[in-house]
Amino acid sequence: MKATFGEYIRQLRTDKGLTLTQLASQLDLDSANLSKIENGKREFDEKRLDKLAIAFNLNIDELKTEYFGDQFAKKMYQYNCSPETLIVAEEKVNYLKSINVKQAEIKF
């Protein structure tokens, strides 16, 4: 749980003894692009998360955690964000949820 998402995919793939071409076809990708993804030169599209989960029989929620955790970390690193950012994020998720609950309640 410390690697980047690309390194994580590579780990999964090599552990299973798959080539780039083999995994790429399961993900509807060309192997050149999968290579770039594993090396952090392209993004893994979130629309392919479910295919990845199937390919390695992973829990989709854990995979999302890994994926979005990676995304957030990259941004924070890139923009030199303070650790406080994550606390604010947590508060704001809760705020969004509370807003939504309120709206749902109003609907009836």
Partner DNA sequence: GCTAAATTTGTCATCTGTTGACAAGTTAAT
Partner DNA sequence: ATTAACTTGTCAACAGATGACAAATTTAGC
Footprint of DNA on 4-33 (CB under 7 A): 14, 19-21, 28-33
User: Do the beta carbons of residue 20 and residue 39 sit within 8 Å?
Assistant: no
Task: Give the DSSP letter string of 48-104.
Answer: GHHHHHHHHT--HHHHHHHHHHHHHHHHHHHTT--THHHHHHHHHHHHHHHHHHHHH
The 1-40 site mask, x for binding its own copies (CB under 8 A), equals xxxx------------------------------------
Q: Taking CB under 7 A as the rule, which mask of x and - marks residues 45-74 in contact with DNA?
A: x-----------------------------
Q: Which of 21, 92, 101, 102 binds its own copies (CB under 8 A)?
A: 92
